[in-house]
Homo-oligomer: A and B are copies of this chain.
């Protein structure tokens, strides 16, 4: 069978699965999720055996320690996957919710009802826990999922998928609810991306290269997450102690994440007062600091930050500091350099807080809080499918609601078009 035919068959299976899932009750979906969690726990040993094959192969290929760590399924991690599914079961079912309804002059009621998207393809790299998380979230939102994981995790992924499909079958949910493309050939991805009309949405999760390839080749809508170049602006009216705590947390608490701060903007009016103790704290925390020319007048030991630095997603303990004239110059900087992921203002001034909220065009805009809080769990979404930096459908953390769309419903009593 050609790769094209193979992928098409899988997609058609998923489409059948989607139709069945869209009709499943919340009870059925929750029961399946809980039984999937139980099955993962019960088969933990077998999963670790399958995972070990991937680890041996990865070592042979000379993959980095960090990559092998991401690949590894310990019994703790398997238990975490199971917990994740149980948490998803506990979340409210978004499907069928009527978000609004109004009456028209001719008497008909028009409303918007939340419905599943249909078939969602997830194209991802290394970490096998994505397999269970993505399948669970899609299932709860009534979507069938087609998974295409990285070749380095193929044995782990297949083992997880087989467990999930086994439960789906036993629970009377169509197996097509969870489908896996076990062809590592790049052609398989290219064929998936052509299946407009069968696959409804593609979510690539991985490095920028993967995401660009998917975007450039897909005829299907893509929701994606490029990088996180996040800012905190310390306004002249900030509580400076609060500002220091927020900036330190935003940079240092976990620098390798997309919601960590990469550039700190400081109002010139309080720069002399704020920076010395802030800089000292960063240095003690092991952060390499790069400053704009004005910042370097305050602390001559800082490296110079150049134009390219302001675009950089460091993902490590490196920080740019720039002194700006006021909130307008801060927002101009953000408009130019931000990746529109998460940007925060620290201020006690109501007017500037409201302007920042309205005018900064990022997926998450904060007042007086650390950018590290930009995440589906912190927002109370219960679980997330990644963070969208796109500008349509969903911006920011994607939870269950973002895995649905709305259709119009009309309740009539014989209305005609006149």
Which A residues are within 8 Å of any B CB, using their own CB?
19, 22-23, 96, 102, 104, 108, 110, 113, 115, 117-118, 196, 200-201, 215-216, 219, 221-223, 239, 242, 245-246, 249, 253-254, 335, 353, 357-359, 361-370, 372-374, 378-380, 390-397, 405-417
Q: In the complex, which of the residues A110, A215, A242, A396 has the most CB atoms of chain B within 10 Å of its own CB atom?
A: A110
The 6 closest A-B pairs by CB, nearest first: A369-B412, A372-B417, A393-B393, A249-B416, A368-B412, A369-B415
Contact between A118 and B361, CB atoms less than 8 A apart: yes
Instruction: List chain B residues, Cβ under 8 A from A364.
Output: 407-410
Q: Give the contacting residue for A380; candidates B104, B245, B369; CB below 8 A.
A: B104
**A209 and B297 alpha carbons, distance in the complex (Å):** 61
Contact between A391 and B117, CB atoms less than 8 A apart: yes
Contact between A416 and B110, CB atoms less than 8 A apart: no
A-B contact pairs, 20 of them (CB 8 A): A19-B335, A22-B361, A102-B380, A104-B379, A108-B369, A110-B379, A117-B391, A117-B392, A118-B361, A249-B416, A357-B409, A361-B407, A362-B407, A365-B408, A368-B413, A392-B405, A394-B405, A395-B406, A395-B408, A396-B408
With both chains docked as a complex, state the minimum distance between the C-beta of A244 and any C-beta of chain B, in angstroms: 10
Contact between B410 and A367, CB atoms less than 8 A apart: yes
Contact between B392 and A221, CB atoms less than 8 A apart: yes
Contact between A370 and B415, CB atoms less than 8 A apart: yes
Instruction: List chain B residues, Cβ under 8 A from A113.
Output: 357-358, 365
Given A113-B358, A117-B392, A373-B412, 19 more pairs with CB closer than 8 A: A22-B361, A115-B395, A201-B391, A201-B392, A215-B219, A239-B414, A246-B414, A246-B416, A253-B417, A365-B408, A366-B410, A367-B412, A369-B413, A369-B416, A379-B408, A392-B393, A393-B405, A395-B406, A397-B408
Contact between B372 and A416, CB atoms less than 8 A apart: yes
Contact between A395 and B380, CB atoms less than 8 A apart: no
**A249 and B412 alpha carbons, distance in the complex (Å):** 14
Q: Give the contacting residue for A369; candidates B366, B378, B410; CB below 8 A.
A: B410
Instruction: List chain B residues, Cβ under 8 A from A396.
Output: 407-408
Q: Give the contacting residue for A373; candidates B23, B394, B410; CB below 8 A.
A: B410
**A240 and B200 alpha carbons, distance in the complex (Å):** 37
- Which residue of chain B is the closest to A215 with respect to CB atoms? B219
Instruction: List chain B residues, Cβ under 8 A from A104.
Output: 378-380
With both chains docked as a complex, state the minimum distance between the C-beta of A403 and any C-beta of chain B, in angstroms: 10
Instruction: List chain B residues, Cβ under 8 A from A413.
Output: 368-369
Contact between B417 and A242, CB atoms less than 8 A apart: no
Instruction: List chain B residues, Cβ under 8 A from A357.
Output: 113, 409
- Which residue of chain B is the closest to A375 with respect to CB atoms? B417
**A307 and B308 alpha carbons, distance in the complex (Å):** 60
Contact between A115 and B378, CB atoms less than 8 A apart: no
Instruction: List chain B residues, Cβ under 8 A from A412.
Output: 366-369, 373
With both chains docked as a complex, state the minimum distance between the C-beta of A339 and any C-beta of chain B, in angstroms: 10
Contact between A368 and B409, CB atoms less than 8 A apart: no
With both chains docked as a complex, state the minimum distance between the C-beta of A113 and any C-beta of chain B, in angstroms: 7
**A186 and B117 alpha carbons, distance in the complex (Å):** 33
Q: In the complex, which of the residues A104, A196, A373 has the most CB atoms of chain B within 10 Å of its own CB atom?
A: A373
Q: Give the contacting residue for A245; candidates B96, B215, B395, B414; CB below 8 A.
A: B414
Instruction: List chain B residues, Cβ under 8 A from A417.
Output: 249, 253-254, 370, 372-373, 378
Instruction: List chain B residues, Cβ under 8 A from A359.
Output: 22-23
**A22 and B393 alpha carbons, distance in the complex (Å):** 18
Q: Give the contacting residue for A363; candidates B361, B362, B378, B407; CB below 8 A.
A: B407
With both chains docked as a complex, state the minimum distance between the C-beta of A163 and any C-beta of chain B, in angstroms: 29
- Which residue of chain B is the closest to A249 with respect to CB atoms? B416
Q: Give the contacting residue for A391; candidates B19, B200, B246, B369; CB below 8 A.
A: B200
**A379 and B417 alpha carbons, distance in the complex (Å):** 12
Contact between B365 and A416, CB atoms less than 8 A apart: no
Q: Give the contacting residue for A223; candidates B117, B358, B392; CB below 8 A.
A: B392
